[in-house]
Amino acid sequence: MDLGFLVKGLIIGFSLALPVGPIALLLIRRTLARGMLAGLLSGFGAATADLVYGAIAGFGLSVVSNFLIENQIALRVAGGILLGYLGARIFLSVPLPRTNEEERRGLAKYYLSAFVLTLTNPLTFLAFAAILAAAGVAAARTVDVAALVVGVFCGSALWWLMLSGIVSFFHGSLSLNGIRMVNRISGTLIVLASVILLLSAAGCLNLLFS
């Protein structure tokens, strides 16, 4: 196995996760409101989706990739609706302390919601396909492609770990009013992101029928 591919994957995964988008806002809000574990699980959900997209692009799974490209409008609409729903819930949520049992029930939801949100963005797959092609996966051995894909997951997970750790540092210093303000701001930005995603889907639809 060429360790250079693992390093390439780490850099790619970290770089693609780095921009502050809806998933990062979701992680920040959950970390501030519910602690580092809630934010970390959200990040790992996004990293798992990156792993899936990296595997599809890296191993050239044409059936799945064609499905993603052909149904990108529907995926954008689904992602936009889900983002809007989560953003509205966050905006309207009242910061109240939860019991340990409630926290445990919510952990899987944090992971799954971030996984689904990341997976419903076909632009992520297109970005992976372009970057992995430039990284030379077409001529690479299967074991090297596997190392690259694992590196993508580890790089993405590393960024989410760093972000949740940084944000959790401020967790204890926020009052309920501070958390309420975070809910309002992050909820508004996530709803705006959902509107942009839905408008992009409408734009693609108009191009198809123009």
Q: In this predicted model, what pLDDT tens digit does every residue of 171-209 receive, in sequence order?
A: 665 666 666 776 677 778 777 877 776 776 666 555 544
- Which domain does 141 fall in, by range? 3-209
What pLDDT does 198 receive?
A: 74
What pLDDT does 102 receive?
A: 46
96 by Cβ neighbours in 10 Å (0-12 / 13-18 / 19+) ranks as exposed
CB neighbours of residue 162 within 10 Å: 14
What angle, rounded to 10 degrees, do the helices at 176-209 and 72-92 form? 160
Cα(121)–Cα(177) distance, rounded to whole angstroms?
Answer: 33
Q: pLDDT band for 99, please (50, 70, 90 cuts).
A: very low
Q: What is the CA radius of gyration of the chain?
A: 18
CB-CB contact of 153 with 39 (8 Å): no
Q: What is the pLDDT of residues 103-123, one digit of tens each?
A: 555 678 889 888 988 887 767
Q: What is the pLDDT of residues 14-58, one digit of tens each?
A: 887 876 677 888 888 888 777 788 888 988 998 998 888 888 877
Percent of the chain with pLDDT strictly greater than 70: 67
> How many folded domains does the chain comprise?
1
Full-prediction pTM beyond 0.85? no
Cα(108)–Cα(89) distance, rounded to whole angstroms?
Answer: 18
